[in-house]
Structure 1
């Protein structure tokens, strides 16, 4: 029900470290990459990117690098909210990712770190510095969770939630906050998704897909691996992929009395209407390591595609019907999986292989190898470049041929978060304008032999 016990949704959405790159705090001076990039061409990054650098977020613009240790990005990548200690209190400000300009800093009483931003990008939920998760994705035991709601003007509201909570997302109208409630509070081993009414500060259950209140005792409790969360393009729905939950019972099973036995499913959370529904994935999804699973949504928001590289399967979910429409085979792979989609293709990566899957036929059409293990995939706004996160670098490739178009060093890189200042063109035929008719026809019928895609890493 969230971006994962292993990958919390708030990090669905991380310090530049290493030789030659300045570790910048907040909006300090931005420096050019130095000796760490000596063996790479002095290229400018074509599109601004948000990257994960250990526990920090990095903003890459051209040749500039900026590191923000305690930060959370807006859904559109246009801004990052950051905090840093200021005596016993906390400085809080907003950074424009396109320019690097920062708002005036405001002081929040006490120590806080940002957890999630509203869909409109104006409001932030923060928790105390000590409210974090461990390597297994579990928070420490506690009986009360303070939560601060703030914007660029400063503190708006403070909540004292009785129990062990982690903020996940705001409701569409901004009057509620979705949270993970960990149970039992002092020694958590499972969690459920609830919604806090910001007017009263009281947490309560979600609704069913039929918009009826979930009956007492029928709220789902998660024990498995939350692998990845994806926000719909219109920001109305949050999809979270869960694996390794044999015997799990959905709310509909608890209400009907059915036993339930889902090894993997996509938890669908409607941020506007406050209901949740789980789409079960067929065997063998969820029976292989969680990190070998990855999920992506098409730009029109109508198709959600899930890949399991370890078992070599891919499934397409209709977001309108909330059903699995079809499944198909993929070449098997190993390692952490990553995925991204445009209107025509799904790109999947695992290990050192990147693979393209044609969505019309749900079949692999191309694959290519890169020299280092992949740590993330991002498409450029015009779909002309596929960015590939690698160990200490980001490269960009032609999305049809896989040819490397450029590469820059990014010491400390552990993942790609997404585009900064993102804009996307309307869905439509991809790549056609970049190739001659002869090249296009040849590539469309070419054998995919030797092409492989990297899965999305995250564990």
Structure 2
């Protein structure tokens, strides 16, 4: 089964399946339009104006203020409840909803654990990929599951949750500096028992020395979680005067324009894989990343220059690079064992992984807003400005299409029955 690459905000974001509307009441909006009779072969997670949603068969649904597990099997939903927040979990395959619990105060979900059991919520609608937050001196964070509040943190500084450690004992966060007027950030881990943030480890599993923590000013473009859910890869671009921890420790210069930040959720170390020129020179939006189903290979594409890089996740190094046709617009990518699919503007291209060379190219009606492969790899779903089409993944022939008003992007597969 092919895995899809998604933004950090979405590692992590989406929704409920058929039957959930009856269970969650007025918070769900079921749509019926002229495309109601068109049946989509696979359930899809999408982002639309006003919320996140699911397309399942002929059903359409939207739920605001939601965050999904990385495998799309469940979604955590929130809704205002007076001065407090209602919080519950929905199984996306069956629509079954857990009992609602009340969280004191107003909260929005920001990060969900890789095993899908814990959620970090904040009082501010910031995320790891939404740009720099407003200045603040204290960052309240709530850790909850379907039974209620597990931890409440009052972090001194400007923090945004990113991911949980594999043992659920820690929370990775972005600490923005300076707190009152942030212009850069670093990745830290908060011990949930002591509630204290601290540095990560190096790849050699030794603590990062004081003064050697990386501070980043660029854009966190996109993230991909390894199939075994132990490593989070994030593509960063435009890093002016950036120095990796290894350069700060050694004293060697090493300015880069783009790299893949590797975060081990179990061992708590981080390592950066530098991308060669011209990655990072063009707009961040033109870059896209996809991981292979076996987790052994990452591919990064720069639409503007036509550059493609193949990264070995075992060696944590770029193995090969190639140049294919250039393009314009926002980049999107999906991959299976043999093919990398890259979409931008109204064009979708395949790259043959074996020779890292160009394959089939086809056009779609409207600018691409996401690529998702079916579980069997036979269909490629293409999000567009006004809807979703699905194509034969070998020939590019359009097999079907349905309109989705207000579609922002196609994010992944929903839970299967």
Deviation at 1:247, TM superposition (A): 2.7
**Does residue 203 of structure 2 align to residue 209 of structure 1?**
yes
> Which blocks of at least 5 consecutive residues in structure 1 are unaligned?
1-6, 17-22, 424-459
| CA offset digits 1:318-356 (Å, max 9, x no partner) | 000001001001100000000000011000001000001
CA contact (8 A) 1:24 1:67 kept: no
Deviation at 1:67, TM superposition (A): 1.0
Looking at structure 1, the residues matched to 238 and 87 of structure 2 have their Cα atoms a distance apart, in angstroms, of 38
CA contact (8 A) 1:61 1:98 kept: no
Deviation at 1:388, TM superposition (A): 0.4
Looking at structure 1, the residues matched to 282 and 314 of structure 2 have their Cα atoms a distance apart, in angstroms, of 28
Q: CA distance change for structure 1 residues 283 and 363 in 2, over 3 Å: closer, same or farther?
A: same
3-state SS, counterpart of residue 156 of structure 1: strand
Matched with 1:171 is 165
CA contact (8 A) 2:346 2:366 kept: yes
3-state SS, counterpart of residue 381 of structure 1: coil
Once the two structures are superposed, the pairs formed by residues 297-308 of structure 1 within 5 Å of their partners are 297-308=291-302
3-state SS, counterpart of residue 241 of structure 2: strand
Looking at structure 1, the residues matched to 7 and 133 of structure 2 have their Cα atoms a distance apart, in angstroms, of 11
Q: CA distance change for structure 1 residues 8 and 217 in 2, over 3 Å: closer, same or farther?
A: farther
Once the two structures are superposed, the pairs formed by residues 338-357 of structure 1 within 5 Å of their partners are 338-357=332-351
Looking at structure 2, the residues matched to 48 and 402 of structure 1 have their Cα atoms a distance apart, in angstroms, of 20
Matched with 1:437 is none
Q: CA distance change for structure 1 residues 179 and 27 in 2, over 3 Å: closer, same or farther?
A: farther
CA contact (8 A) 2:311 2:319 kept: yes
CA contact (8 A) 2:161 2:173 kept: yes
| CA offset digits 1:361-384 (Å, max 9, x no partner) | 000111100010000000011111
Looking at structure 2, the residues matched to 111 and 294 of structure 1 have their Cα atoms a distance apart, in angstroms, of 34
Once the two structures are superposed, the pairs formed by residues 189-338 of structure 1 within 5 Å of their partners are 189-338=183-332
Matched with 2:3 is none
Looking at structure 1, the residues matched to 82 and 241 of structure 2 have their Cα atoms a distance apart, in angstroms, of 49
Matched with 1:162 is 156
Matched with 1:444 is none
Matched with 2:371 is 377
Q: CA distance change for structure 1 residues 8 and 339 in 2, over 3 Å: closer, same or farther?
A: closer
CA contact (8 A) 1:307 1:314 kept: yes
CA contact (8 A) 1:15 1:54 kept: no
Looking at structure 1, the residues matched to 218 and 392 of structure 2 have their Cα atoms a distance apart, in angstroms, of 37
Looking at structure 2, the residues matched to 89 and 410 of structure 1 have their Cα atoms a distance apart, in angstroms, of 32
Matched with 1:107 is 102
TM-score by length of 1: 0.85
CA contact (8 A) 1:74 1:117 kept: yes
Deviation at 1:53, TM superposition (A): 1.1
**Does residue 51 of structure 2 align to residue 56 of structure 1?**
yes
* Greater CA drift, 93-102 or 225-234: 93-102
Deviation at 1:136, TM superposition (A): 6.5
| CA offset digits 1:31-90 (Å, max 9, x no partner) | 45224x38xxx3211111110113521111111112111011101100000101000100
Matched with 1:89 is 84
Looking at structure 2, the residues matched to 238 and 135 of structure 1 have their Cα atoms a distance apart, in angstroms, of 14
| CA offset digits 1:143-195 (Å, max 9, x no partner) | 11111111111111111111110100000111100000001111111100000
C-alpha RMSD of the superposition: 2.1
CA contact (8 A) 1:330 1:363 kept: yes
CA contact (8 A) 1:25 1:69 kept: no
Matched with 1:12 is 11
Looking at structure 1, the residues matched to 96 and 232 of structure 2 have their Cα atoms a distance apart, in angstroms, of 30
| CA offset digits 1:398-437 (Å, max 9, x no partner) | 00000111111111110111111169xxxxxxxxxxxxxx
Q: CA distance change for structure 1 residues 135 and 417 in 2, over 3 Å: closer, same or farther?
A: closer
**Does residue 79 of structure 2 align to residue 66 of structure 1?**
no
3-state SS, counterpart of residue 209 of structure 2: coil
Q: CA distance change for structure 1 residues 353 and 8 in 2, over 3 Å: closer, same or farther?
A: closer
* Greater CA drift, 314-323 or 410-419: 410-419
TM-score by length of 2: 0.93
